[in-house]
Structure formats: structure tokens, C-alpha cells
Amino acid sequence: MEHRAEGDAPTLHLMSQQVRELDSDDGPASDIPFVDHEAVRQTVRFHRARRKARTEHRKRGRRAAVRFWLVFAALLVVSVVLSVTIWHEIQRLFGL
């Protein structure tokens, strides 16, 4: 340790050093990561299936909305026709 003059701030002389990985194989092959091609294919298939399911779900939702509005419109038309028919019958029966 160095002798320092009074009033000087302490200094740190040691620098941190990189930690070296302990690897039994120091050749260039240790730098190349292992890739499991089957796992990659499986992941791609999984995400493709999810994407397809999501689009199918949206299509089903749109079709259901169209069916709802078509049935609603048909019921509205039927109720208007029925109301007009009943009104005409009431006018004919009671002479209004």
C-alpha cells in the first residue's frame, strides 16, 4: 500500500478483470452455438398453427356478426309486415 499525504483521498489501484470461461475445449467449435433444428421446426409449426387459429377465430367472429345482423334484419322485416297486416285487419273489422 502506498503512503499518502494527509488530506489525499484514497485511491483504488486494482481494476476488475474479465472472468474467463472454463471450457475444456478451447477450439473454434466452442464459439459456435448448438442449434437444434428439430426444435426450431417445431417452434415454427407451433407459431404457424397459433397464427392460423387466430385468423380462423377472427373469420368465425365476423361470420357470426353477419349472421346476427341478417337474422335481426329478417325478424325486423317480419315484425313490420306482421304489424302492418294486423293494423289493416283492425281497420277493416272496426271500420276505422
- The percent of residues in the chain predicted with pLDDT above 70, rounded, is 69
> Given a cut of 80, is residue 56 above it in pLDDT?
yes
Instruction: Enumerate the H helices of the chain as residue ranges.
Output: 37-94
| pTM for this prediction | 0.51
Write down the mean pLDDT value for the chain. Answer: 83
Task: Go through the chain and tell me how many residues it has.
Answer: 96
| Mean pLDDT, residues 36-41 taken together | 92
**CA torsion sign, 33 to 37 to 40 to 44?**
positive
**What's residue 29's pLDDT?**
56
> Given a cut of 60, is residue 84 above it in pLDDT?
yes
> Given a cut of 90, is residue 11 above it in pLDDT?
no
